Structure 1
Amino acid sequence: MMHLNPSQPSAPALVTARRSCHRIAVACVAAWVLGLPVPVLAQTPNPKEIVTAFYEMAFVKGQAREAILKYISPSTYIQHNPMVPDGRDAALAVLPDIMAKTGMRAEIKRVIAEGDLVVVHSRAAVPGRPEVPALAVVDIFRVKEGLIVEHWDVIQEVPKSAANANTMF
């Protein structure tokens, strides 16, 4: 049998996949009938869910320390912000302190994901810096094996007046 679309699986591959699914279903039903524990296929959150949860906890709720410990890899954390060293310990030493001193909180405007990269566009309020009305922030995160392993950011002060009627958000 000739396939015109190579991205579609062949008939034998579909039969094999169906047999595998059938075997799993039969095994689960049999375990349930016999009163045995039924295996649950764990669903790993996708990178967008992981980064959004991290951002909500750290920057929206102000629980930076807890968020770093939960969502940033303890073994690999590459930091592209030139003011912060690499590593989760460096993030723990810097971010919670900044958040506490300035009272900074963020409002997520959009989250965009492609593969293992996630971009968060946010508006940050910094009550501890009254000369700065707000910050427009774009954070880029890379996620590997369910943890954040790399970070880039671009931060710009929101001006008091603009040359156009558009907002930065």
Structure 2
Amino acid sequence: MPSPVLSFITEIPEGIQIGSVHCVPVLDNGDVVMVWDREEKVLTTIGGRLEPGESIMDGLSCESLEEAGIEISDERTLFAAWHWKEFDAYRLFYLVGVKCFAERPGSYETTGYVVMNFDTAIEMIRAIEGREERIEVIRRAGILSGMLAEAT
């Protein structure tokens, strides 16, 4: 599987193609919501490809409801991007709050939500797949949310 190039950003660079959007939702108690993908057998962030004409914010809201059955807050902080060289497209990552859990719309999704603390999420990703890019995304989200200490 090709590896993306991870960078930490706070603004969308001009002139880039955005292929997908993902979020790392954090509950009021500081726990993170992720999804387990039953087909790929990975613990992952919530998100997916943008539909033609769909805005980034609408895409985040739709994917969160479809994949995890959560409504996310309007406060959304861009913090990372993966660049997929073979597609010349970016996947953006946002730190978001959770308004509430809601009923998932009937769909074909193969995911279900998992709630845990950031340390456990990192340990599980490492044990399941060991993908450093995903671990770094979760680590950065944990630091930004105040739930993990900055690495020294």
Same fold (TM over 0.5): no
Structure richer in strand, relative to its length: 2
Query: TM-score scaled to structure 2, two decimals?
Result: 0.26
Structure richer in helix, relative to its length: 1
> Which is higher, the Rg of structure 1 or of structure 2?
1
Higher RCO (CA < 8 A, seq sep 6+): 2
